[in-house]
Each structure stands twice: as structure tokens, then as C-alpha cells.
Amino acid sequence: MKTDPPHILCVNPWIHDFAAFDFWAKPLGLLSLAAILRENGLKISYLDCLDRFHPRQDPPAKIQWDGRGPFRKTPIPFPEELQALLPEVGQPFSRYGIEPEWFYQDLNDMPRPDLIFVTSMMTYWATGVRETIESVKQVFPKVPVILGGIYAGLCQDHASAHSLADRVIAGPGESCLKSLIKEFTGFNLRFIPDPDDLDTFPFPALDLQHHLAYAPIMTSRGCPFACEYCAASFLEPTLRRRSPDNVFKEIQHWHREYGVKNFAFYDDALLVKGNSHAFPLFEQLIDSKMELNFHTPNAVHIREITPKAANLMFKAGFKTIRMGLETTDFSQDRHHDIKVREDEFFRAVENLKSAGFDPKQLGAYLLCGLPGQDLEEVAASMALVKKTGILPVLAYYTPIPHTPMWEDAVKNARFDITRHPVFTNNTLFPCVRSDKDLNRISQLKNMKN
């Protein structure tokens, strides 16, 4: 007797935060897994709690020219038991994303799934994940829920204890997909892509969304660097790349089939080994004359911005360039990694300007709020970046478990950040100790670019 293939519901959870905005944020990992399951003939449903284009959104969501836009926002109380641990959190807290009523309605309107996949992003959005799973379980109390993603990978114990998921998976999902589906549904997946060959992966199932205002693109997994504050190399220990041709075909697909014009690169090291990787892709994009817009919200490496890279990026249609500068304290004794020298930064900016970029399209990320950081260093960095005419963009430090800087952050924090991931939220500036420094940060934040 032939049985129907299982029905998997994939869910992108709500965000609970002090502030949030759709800066090209899509659950690429979950949609990549959904694509593999779909390729195996499984029935896939997708509910996105962050959907800016939910059919019940009235008036329709605003879309910026580059695809970005605000999430729907509902004020909610800061979780009571956490407020008791940290009374100083007095700031307004919100749920970002669709109305819970819409979510319940969508759940009630669908046939009962056999298994539910929930993803997660920032560790400090843990309470949003819990609220999502709680809601899903109210409608489908007997359906197992599996949680994966960044929070699940970085805080597996916390997620196992508090998320309400039946199983918490750390790390890339592709490697355990077959056994999970077998265990929970009895179904045998025939096709699993080769983890060492990213070209064997189907394109992520971005088409499950109501509307594609932009598409995230990842040309590689992993990062060749191991910066002290960053979890990338813990999350994806090996660097693997897609072929330029495979990436080109994906961009062409979203553009031709869905009219997508804006693409955000999610790579940790887009320009590294550019001659064999990014440059042939940019050349293909230029030749195609598709006239697309590209953005690098996750920053590119300054050392890699040679005249050739800058020219190709300009001609290919890059519109928003963010560079990972981190600091302009280029002294040897500073306490975190040095990836770039002062002259290299100036040269990169010059290369981009000479290629044709308007300085307004260019920004340099500066880390702010690191353990023990002298905030005058941040102020000096901002001044130096402004001198080049480009935007200094402050990136507020969030302590991340499993990073080399975590222990330092725990020791330096004003309060105990190990009690709950929400306490690592960068809005709280956990590693900034004195009122004087907190005030200085507010000043720096308000110094308009």
C-alpha cells in the first residue's frame, strides 16, 4: 500500500526585542532545509511570524526601494521572571511580526502536519521562540516540534530546557535531516545533498513566502577567520564554496521567475579568494545586463577591496557596501584581532570611490561595547571614518557563547549574562560597566552620521 509522503510545517518565529527592523533578514537555513524536503516529495507548509506581507496586513506593508522595511510591532511586557533578575531593564519591549491571531488562524486552516520544524536566529530572541512553539503546540499538541538554528546551536542546553521543543538540534541541519525524518515520520529521504559540494544543494525555498521583496544569497558556508567576538567558525567549522555559475543561476532564477531586483549577500567572507569565486560571478552578472541591486549587510573584508574588486562590484550593481572595520585603533596591543591596517582602510575607500560609488552607499562597521573597551577609541574611529566621507555604522557588541570572547564578557558584564540569553541583548550593553560609559554610548549613538 502506498502512503502519502509526510507533511512538514516550517516556522520562522517571532522576534522579542527592544528594537527590530527587516534589514534583509530571512531564515535562509530553514528555507534551505525546506527545499531539500520538497525535492524529496514531502508536503511543505511555511508560516513566517515575521511576514511583512501577510495577507491580513492592512494597509499593505511599506517596502523601501532596496526591499527592506519595518516589521509589525506590538508592545509586550518584558518577561516578568527576567525582570526580577534584572530590574534595570526599564525599556519598552516588543513582539515583532504578525498578530498572534493571524498565526492561530493560519495554523487552524491547515491540515495537521506530521512534524514541525522551527528555526531560530539571535540567541537573545529566545523568548520569541518559546512563544512561537507554545502557540504551535496549542493548535497541534501532539505533533513533535524540532528546533534548530543559531540560538539552538549556541545555547543548546537553554533551548532544551526552555523552548518547549521536543528536540533541539545544534549545527547544520542537512547532516541529520535523513535520520530525523525517519525517526519522526518513518519516511525515507532518497535525496540528501553532498555537504562537501554546495552545488548539489537545491536553491532555498524562498518561493514559499507570500512576497519576495529581496532575496538572501549565500555563496559560501563558513569563514576563514576566527574573530574573538564571532561564532561563525563554531557554527560552520569548514569553509565551502558554491561555484560562481551555480550562484549566478540562482540569482537569475529569482529575478526571472519572481521579479526580484534586490539581493543581500549573507557570506562571512564574500571577497576572499575573489579570483576564483566572487569575481567570475560579478563578471557574469555584468554580462547578463540584468540591472540588479546587491547589498552586503554582513560586511566585506577591507583587505579584499582592490581596484579590481571595487570596479566589478560597482559595475555588477552593488548599492550598499558595509565593510568590517571594527575599530581604527590600529595599535598592536589592542585586545582583539587585527584584520586591517589604517592605510588598507583608506585605500579600500579610495578604490570604491574611484570605481564610482557614492560615499553614502558605503559604511564601515565599528564594534562598540566590547569588554574593557575604551569608548574614546570608538569616538576616534567614528571621526576617522567620517573623514573619508563614508558612514560609520556602530555594531553593538552582543556576547555570544562558544566564542573566545565569551569568558571575558561574562567576567566583565555588569550583571550575570549566563542566567538567560536575553541578558546578552546588545541594547543592554552588558559589558559596559559604568553610568559614565553608558551615557557616552548614548551620545555616540545620537551623533548623526
CA torsion, ordered 50, 51, 57, 63, to nearest 10 deg: 100
> Judged by CB under 6 A, does residue 346 bind ligand B12?
no
> Judged by CB under 6 A, does residue 29 bind ligand B12?
yes
14 φ, ψ (degrees, to nearest 5): -65, 155
Check residue 113 and report its DSSP letter: P
Q: Which residue is nearest to ligand B12 (CB)?
A: 29
Which residue is listed with cell 557563547? 401
Among left, alpha and beta (phi > 0; psi -120 to 50; other), residue 41 is left
Give residues 173-192 in contact with ligand B12 (rule: CB under 6 A): 173-174
Among 94, 284, 293, 298, binds ligand B12 (CB under 6 A): 298
- Give the range of 20-28, 246-254, 304-312, 409-417 binding ligand B12 by CB under 6 A: 20-28
> Judged by CB under 6 A, does residue 23 bind ligand B12?
yes
Check residue 273 and report its DSSP letter: T
Please state the closest distance from residue 350 (CB atom) to ligand B12, in A: 25
Among 36, 107, 150, 309, binds ligand B12 (CB under 6 A): 150
Which residues, at least 6 apart from 289, have a Cβ–Cβ distance to it below 8 Å?
A: none
> What CA–CA distance (Å, rounded) separates 361 from 357?
7
260 φ, ψ (degrees, to nearest 5): -70, 130
- Give the range of 52-60, 144-152, 246-254, 326-334 binding ligand B12 by CB under 6 A: 144-152
Give residues 307-326 in contact with ligand B12 (rule: CB under 6 A): none
Question: Residue type for 64, please?
Answer: Q
The radius of gyration computed from the CA coordinates of the chain, to the nearest angstrom, equals 22
Sketch the per residue contact string, 213 through 252, with ligand B12: x for CB under 6 A, - otherwise. Answer: -----x-----------xxx--xx----------------
Please state the closest distance from residue 2 (CB atom) to ligand B12, in A: 27
* CA 124 to chain centroid: 13
Cα angle for residues 104, 108, 114 (degrees, 5° grid): 110
Which CB atom, from 11 or from 285, has the smaller least distance to ligand B12? Answer: 11
> Judged by CB under 6 A, does residue 124 bind ligand B12?
yes
> Judged by CB under 6 A, does residue 297 bind ligand B12?
yes
> Judged by CB under 6 A, does residue 149 bind ligand B12?
yes
> Judged by CB under 6 A, does residue 153 bind ligand B12?
yes
- Give the range of 36-44, 84-92, 146-154, 380-388 binding ligand B12 by CB under 6 A: 146-154
Give residues 248-277 in contact with ligand B12 (rule: CB under 6 A): 266, 268
> Judged by CB under 6 A, does residue 390 bind ligand B12?
no
> Judged by CB under 6 A, does residue 169 bind ligand B12?
yes
Please state the closest distance from residue 383 (CB atom) to ligand B12, in A: 20
> Judged by CB under 6 A, does residue 28 bind ligand B12?
yes
HSE-CB of 25 using CA atoms within 13 angstroms: 21
> Judged by CB under 6 A, does residue 24 bind ligand B12?
yes
> What CA–CA distance (Å, rounded) separates 309 from 189?
41
HSE-CB of 447 using CA atoms within 13 angstroms: 16
- Give the range of 63-71, 116-124, 182-190, 376-384 binding ligand B12 by CB under 6 A: 116-124
- Give the range of 169-177, 252-260, 338-346, 431-439 binding ligand B12 by CB under 6 A: 169-177
Secondary structure E strands in 377-416: 391-396
Please state the closest distance from residue 287 (CB atom) to ligand B12, in A: 27
Among 30, 181, 310, 432, binds ligand B12 (CB under 6 A): 30
Please state the closest distance from residue 358 (CB atom) to ligand B12, in A: 21
Cα–Cα distances (Å) from 268 to 99, 238, 429, in that order, read 33, 12, 24
Please state the closest distance from residue 343 (CB atom) to ligand B12, in A: 26
> Judged by CB under 6 A, does residue 146 bind ligand B12?
yes
Partners of 324 in beta bridges: 365
Binding residues for ligand B12, rule CB under 6 A, total: 43
> Judged by CB under 6 A, does residue 300 bind ligand B12?
no
Partners of 366 in beta bridges: 326, 394
What is the DSSP track for 9-78? EEEEPPEEES---BSS---HHHHHHHHHHHHTT-EEEEEETT-TT-TT-SSPPP--TTS-BPPPEEEEPP
Among left, alpha and beta (phi > 0; psi -120 to 50; other), residue 398 is beta
Q: Which residues bind ligand B12 (CB under 6 A)?
A: 20, 23-30, 32-33, 117, 119, 121-124, 146, 148-150, 153-154, 169, 172-174, 218, 230-232, 235-236, 266, 268, 297-298, 395-396, 398, 400, 424, 426
